[in-house]
Structures are given as C-alpha cells and as structure tokens.
Structure 1
C-alpha cells in the first residue's frame, strides 16, 4: 500500500556490501554448488547464465524474470543443490545416535539458502540485515501503513517478508529486493501468497492501488464516531483479493475514531484559522501545510507517507473533505 522510493538509497556499492557480508562465512563447497546450479538453470535475456551474486542483487524486473524461469521450467524439481545431502546427514547420525529420527529427517530436508543463509541474517549475518533496513529506511509497514517497524543496532521491530515466497523460490530467499520490511501481522497474513503490487515498484506505485473514504450513517456523525464507516476501495479489481488477504478493510474499519477526529478538526480549523496560526507563529510554521500536519499528526505529502502510521488514511480523508468543500463552493 506504500510506495518505497529506493532510487537514491540503494546503489551498487550498497548491494555489493550486502552480498559480501552475506556470503563471507559461507562454506566454499556450498558456494560452488549454488553457483553451478545458477549457471545450469538460470539464463539472462542474452543467454548468459546468472551468477548467485546477480541473483542476490537482482532488481524487481530481474526477479520477475527469474520467477518466470523457475515457474516455466519447474525448477523446483531440480533444487537438489539447495538441500543438504543425505550422505552428510548419515555421517552426522552416526555421531548423534541420541537424535530422534524425525529431527534427522527435518534436517535432511532443510534448505541451505532459506533455512541457513536467510536465518543467518538474524545471527552471524545480522550486519547484512541492518544494512538492508537502513537503506530501505522506512518507519511504517508498507503493506498496512498501520504499525511502526523501527529498527536499529539495538532493536529490530520488523520482520522481512519474501515478496516471492522463499518456500516456492528458495533461490530468491536472500535477494535484497525480494525482502520487504513489514510488521508481523502483515507478514503472517501474506504468507506465501503472490501479490500484484510491489512496494519498490517505480511504475505501478503501491500507494495508488486503493483509496480510503468515509460514510456517515447517522446525522450525529460529528458527535458519535459509531455513525461513521470507513470504506476501502481498490482502484482495480485485481487488487481486491490481495487487500482481502491483508484484511485491510476490516482492520481499517476499527479506525473510525481517527476519521471521526479528522472530520471534527476539519470543521473547527477553517483555512482562515489555519492561516492565522501560521502568521501568529512564524518561528514555528513556514507554511499553512505545516500547521495542517501538526493538526492531523501525519505528513500530508505523498512522498512522506512511509513516515507515520495511518498517513494514507489521513491523507485520503483530508483530500475527500477538501474536494467536497470545493464542490460546494462552485
């Protein structure tokens, strides 16, 4: 639901550093296996093979091409390189006779990239995860715009969603642009579902996939929040199921109190009053827009929607109220 502009944030140096940290402690034999698989099965448009480094650094358009190759060629059937070899585990089982059979079976079927390399982002390769989070640089979940996801060296409050599921596409499990910082609720709800909107997409910006509005159901809506219904409308039908997966409509129905406050503030604080506040406090406000942002508690610029929870809701409702006023004045 939020577009995240990474054009000036993530460059080739950042991607190289991420890959270097990620693979620095990888076993040499495992690296060879992964590289060989990429060369055997993944091809660029010019026919040349992908390297694992190129897979890790792949942007959205490249990720889509890799996904299509995997789907079209049923490459999930040829992922033996991803999985730990039975011979290794037979040797381990001799040393660990006390281990239960089902535990050994679980290990035997574990996937190196998604179960070891990806999990290392929370342990020995935590530096790579922190680099990714710093470069993406968002404070609010891009899927719901409801929850803060602050992260730094001391605390990480977000989870990483795999836009293309790591279960279906384990080779993409640590690809930089396949990892979307999000809240735990959205990560759980999205699961392995495929979405048509991508938070980093420059062309089809996620912010444009839906719009919030409100509907008064009783005449006392200026005094009673329960007389207001929050409505969610996708801009295209193809987004309906995905918004339903994230339960956006049901979750935002709970925020009728926010809409209630926005409507009341819009009634009390007229444009004339807002302008008077700006002129009365020039040391605080440089524009009427800054007064409105203080009033509504969120940035009112589309470019800053990722900075505060419920910014999308607030912006849409404020816009709707202003549009209605403009129509009345004409």
Structure 2
C-alpha cells in the first residue's frame, strides 16, 4: 500500500548495505568455509543469472532493484540455485545477519519508514536498541533462496501482516516504483445506521483496490481489520463539520507565525499527513486522507488540500 524507498543517494546506500552484509563477522569461526560458499554462489550467479546479455554477480543480485528481481525470478523458475547453498543463504546470510541488531538498525534506518507499508496501521520503526518490524520476503525465500537477502525483496512489516501473508503470493510490492498508493487503493465509507455521529458501528469502511491490489487486500485481510477504525472515520466527520474551509483560512491567517504552510496546519487540525509521500510516517494516513477528501466534497463541494 505504502511505497518503500531508500533514503538519500539510493545507489550509495545500497552499496554500503551490501558491503556490510557480505563482510565476515569478527566472531565467525570458519572464515575459509564462508569464502568458499560466497565464491561458489557467485560463480553460479555469473553462469546462470544473465539479464539483457549481462551476467550478474551475487552482489548485483543482492542490490538488484525490483524490476530486475522480477527478471531474476523468471530465470529461477527454470533453474534454481542448488539446495546445498540454501542453508548458507537463508540460515547464515539472512537469519544471522538480519538478526544482528546493528545491521537490522542500519537497514531500517536506510529506509526511514515508521509504519507498516502493507497495512499502514502499525508502527515498524526502530529505537536505539531494536527494531519493531519483521521482514517479509515478497518472493518467498524458501522457493527462491538466492533472493533471501536481496534488499528489494525485503519488506519491513508489522507482525500482523507478516503472519497474515505467510507464504501467500501477492501482486504489489512496496518496492515497485511503477505504482503510486493512490493508484492502487482508495478508502471510502458507508452509513449503515443514522446514529453514526454517536455510534461508530453505524459506519463501515470500504476499500476499493485495482484488480492486482485486491490480492494484497485479501491476503492481509485489510477489509476486516480496517473495520476496527470506524471511530477514526467518525472523528473525521465531526472535524470536517467543525473545521470548514472558511474557518481553516481564518486559522491560517490568524496563526500564520505558527505554521510554515497550510499543509502543516492541516496536519495539526486533522491529525495526520495529507500528502502521498508522507503516508508512511503515521498510521492510518492513507485512510484519513481519502475520507477527508470525500467529506470535503460532500459537505463543501471543495477539494481537501
């Protein structure tokens, strides 16, 4: 639902992450065995992973963007890496390296997201001591062990989404740059009882996804879990009734020294970010943005912006 992007200079960030991933840990006992594993996997990649006439090294597979990963998957469907290398890829490179507190924090900090990109409901941010997320492999690591540590195959998600998805396949990856959130899904609400201003159970949240994203909605049970947030929709309705466009313009003028922009005022008044690029900063940002868009049109015939 919410895009995942590496911060800053993406190429440099990914290069550093790759170097830190592959370098030998000081506590590792059998350094020569580690090197043999890497050399063998790298040679296999260079022989079998050929994209647009170019052989890819294992490091290039680790750094491959999502579009390239889809091409690698097509190759792995025909000829996967030998089972002998699966344990090293999954049990050492993935499980041990990504359970390392320092490396997990480095990886999460490079993304800069604070909310689960699958549901936009739960925090997945890091503290100085630990990360709050789990990692989902968009392309299943057991089916495609070569991609177990490919950065654009790893999605930091909440435990609820990771459990719900399991090994189910879904269509949309947050690393896929072809899509924007607003193109994939939109929230709406329906009134199912006329006491909705005082009883949020008289409201129902609806998700309208495109044909591909509906598979994500079903896998993560988003239709069901979002019904927990009808109270948020109720609050949105009441705030819309109070903070009409004229009142908002008055607040912008009266308190112009408090806010750098109208967007900052909206964030304070309506309790969340309203621009698509910031949906990953707070839970339920996408829901609230869409509901306010509908409400401003219903009540005032104006856009929410």
TM-score where L is the length of structure 2 = 0.90
SS in structure 1 at match of 2:212? helix
* CA RMSD between the two structures: 2.0
2:261 and 2:154 mapped to 1: Cα distance?
38
Number of aligned residues:
295
1:208-219 aligned at under 5 Å gives the runs: 208-219=183-194
1:134 and 1:45 mapped to 2: Cα distance?
33
TM-score where L is the length of structure 1 = 0.83
CA contact (8 A) 2:296 2:302 kept: no
What corresponds to 1:166 in structure 2?
Answer: 141
Deviation string, structure 1 residues 290-329 (Cα, Å, up to 9, x no partner): 2221122111111111110000000000001122235499
Q: Which one of the candidate residues 36, 41, 45 is aligned to 2:43?
A: 36
What corresponds to 2:250 in structure 1?
Answer: 276
What corresponds to 1:90 in structure 2?
Answer: none
What corresponds to 1:49 in structure 2?
Answer: 55
What corresponds to 1:80 in structure 2?
Answer: 83
2:255 and 2:144 mapped to 1: Cα distance?
56
1:1-330 aligned at under 5 Å gives the runs: 1-6=1-6, 9-25=8-24, 27-46=34-53, 48-71=54-77, 73-75=78-80, 78-83=81-86, 111-124=87-100, 126-234=101-209, 236-327=210-301
2:123 and 2:99 mapped to 1: Cα distance?
23
* Residue ranges of structure 1 left out of the alignment (5+ in a row): 84-110
Deviation at 1:139, TM superposition (A): 0.6
CA contact (8 A) 1:121 1:127 kept: no
2:127 and 2:188 mapped to 1: Cα distance?
35
Q: More displaced, 113-122 or 255-264?
A: 113-122
CA contact (8 A) 1:3 1:200 kept: yes
Deviation at 1:10, TM superposition (A): 4.7
1:202 and 1:218 mapped to 2: Cα distance?
40
1:132 and 1:123 mapped to 2: Cα distance?
11
SS in structure 1 at match of 2:251? helix
2:43 and 2:296 mapped to 1: Cα distance?
59
